[in-house]
Structure formats: C-alpha cells, structure tokens
Amino acid sequence: MSQRWGRSSLRTSAKILRSWFGYCESRGWVRFGLSEAILLPRIYRHEGLPLGPTWDAVGRMLIKTNGDDSASIRDHAIILLLSVYGLRSGEVRRLHLGDIDWPNDRIRFVRSKSKRKDVTPLVTRPWVDQDNQLK
C-alpha cells in the first residue's frame, strides 16, 4: 500500500495497527513491544501546500500588471524578480537601482539566508512575443 497511499493514510493505518497490537500485548497474545515497532511516517505541517504558483498563474499576474502607471510597473517588476530569479521577498525589498548594471546586463543581490552576493545576467523577456503578448 505504501506505493499507492499518501503519508496521511499510511500514518492513520499505522496508528490503527499500533492500537490493535497494543491491545494484543495487554492480553498477552503477542510479544511485548511489538506495537512500538510499527513506525509512523512523519507528517509535516505545510506539506500539502503548493510550492508556488503555476507558470500559467504567473503569466496571468504579469498580464494584469502590464500597465503604464507606477504601481503596475512596480508590481510587474516584483513578480518577475520573484518568479524568474527566485528571490525572496526580503531580497526584493533590499534591491536598489544601483544593483542593476545596465551596461553589462547584470543584476546584483544579497541572498537572505547565506548573505552571499550574487551577480546574475538580466533576463530578456522570452515569455512574450513581439506584440508584448505572453507566449
């Protein structure tokens, strides 16, 4: 069953088996300690949550923020930084215009967890066609 069931179902079944063998131990039908030998799979608190939005959802957000006003331009840039470069929110908040090396098409940022300074190429927009429409 472990190939077809999820961890939650396996955990529930293992707990039922533990309970049954605990009862059997109390009656002397099986060797003591057998119930504790049944291992329970670990269940993580947020394991059911998606890792992030799908690329279709990102594309829809990019279309909605493709305006000329300052808020749309800002939001569009933030979504691109989060989705294309995989930046964390704190890394985006710490960015300054001076972190973008326009002549060499590079962007610099400091990683939140490791404090490592990364320099990566500026990504062109391969996700849009010549009419600025999403591919």
Q: Tell me how far CA of residue 110 lies from CA of 38, 80, 102, 119, in angstroms.
A: 46, 17, 18, 9
Of 69, 83, 78, 62, the C-alpha closest to 132 is 62
Tell me the CB-side half-sphere exposure of residue 104, using CA atoms within 13 A.
Answer: 10
pLDDT in tens, 7-58: 889 999 999 999 999 999 999 999 999 999 999 998 888 887 878 888 888 8
pLDDT at 78: 93
pTM of the predicted protein model: 0.57
Task: Read off the pLDDT of each residue in 96-106 and give the average, rounded to a whole number.
Answer: 92
Query: What stretch of H or E contains 63?
Result: helix 55-64
pLDDT at 135: 57
pLDDT in tens, 44-96: 888 878 788 888 888 899 889 988 999 999 999 899 899 888 899 999 999 99
Residue 131 has pLDDT above 80, yes or no: no
Task: Classify residue 69 by its DSSP letter.
Answer: S
